[in-house]
Amino acid sequence: MIVPQIVFWVMAVIAVLAGFGVIASHQAIRSVLSLVAVMLALSVLFLLLSAQFVFAVQVIVYAGAVMVLFLFVVALLGPMRERASRRLRFQWGLSVLVVAVFGGFIYAELQGIGFRAPDKLDTTVFGTVQQIGMGLFTTYLYPFELTSILLLVAAVGAIYLSRGGRTASEVRRQEDAELGRGGPSQEEDEIA
């Protein structure tokens, strides 16, 4: 059967093209949408590799919830034009060099990879919700509870960080007032 190979190659090409879209687009919103495409392609590969539950989580939680959060922030902050930086311009060549060396190391590792024999050969039930639940609530109960605490900490931290503060125009207005320049100009009021 050649079907798994066809599915893999189609999804791999989509994922790599969308991955290039993530790092090459000039607008943040296109990067985020390309990442959604990468995630959906990868979710099909998860399904191919008999990870049904992870597939569902990837589509619903990751491509759904997390990326919508990114889209909200992009929409909130407005379009940002990325212009060529005046500072740290040498970073570009240096970063490509670092990634090339790092990639060379991983490529060398992949060449000499040796696969261990599978733990068990019964693949009739694998990656089902039942098995995942059994794993999460028996053997890996403590890590599971720790991730719940991590989520709680992240939620509290996000609320603390994004609670009401001063906006940029308010800061500017206050700085103007401190400098004794009077109120903001008419133009700024219209923007606000």
Distance CA 51, CA 2 (A): 20
Distance CA 105, CA 162 (A): 41
Q: Which of 90, 112, 119, 191 binds other proteins (CB under 8 A)?
A: 119
Q: Which of 37, 59, 64, 140 binds other proteins (CB under 8 A)?
A: 140
Q: Which of 90, 101, 162, 191 binds other proteins (CB under 8 A)?
A: 162
CB 133 to other proteins: min, Å = 10
155 near other proteins, judged by CB under 8 A = yes
Q: Is the dihedral of CA 135, 139, 143, 144 positive or negative?
A: positive
Q: Nearest-5° angle of CA 20, CA 78, CA 59? A: 50
CB 59 to other proteins: min, Å = 12
Burial (0-12, 13-18, 19+ Cβ within 10 Å), 140: middle
Give 113 or 179: the residue with its C-beta nearer to other proteins. 113
Query: 15, 21, 61: which is closest to 41 by C-alpha?
Result: 15
Residue 191 parent element (H or E): helix 186-191
Q: Site mask, other proteins, residues 22-61, x = CB under 8 A?
A: xx----x--xx--x--xx--x--xx-xxxx-xx--xx--x
Structure-token pair, residue 137: 């609530």
| Helix axis angle, 67-77 to 28-48, nearest 10° | 180
Give 61 or 181: the residue with its C-beta nearer to other proteins. 61
CB 146 to other proteins: min, Å = 9
Give 155 or 192: the residue with its C-beta nearer to other proteins. 155
117 near other proteins, judged by CB under 8 A = yes
Q: Which of 10, 129, 131, 189 binds other proteins (CB under 8 A)?
A: 131
Amino acid (1-letter code) at residue 154 = A
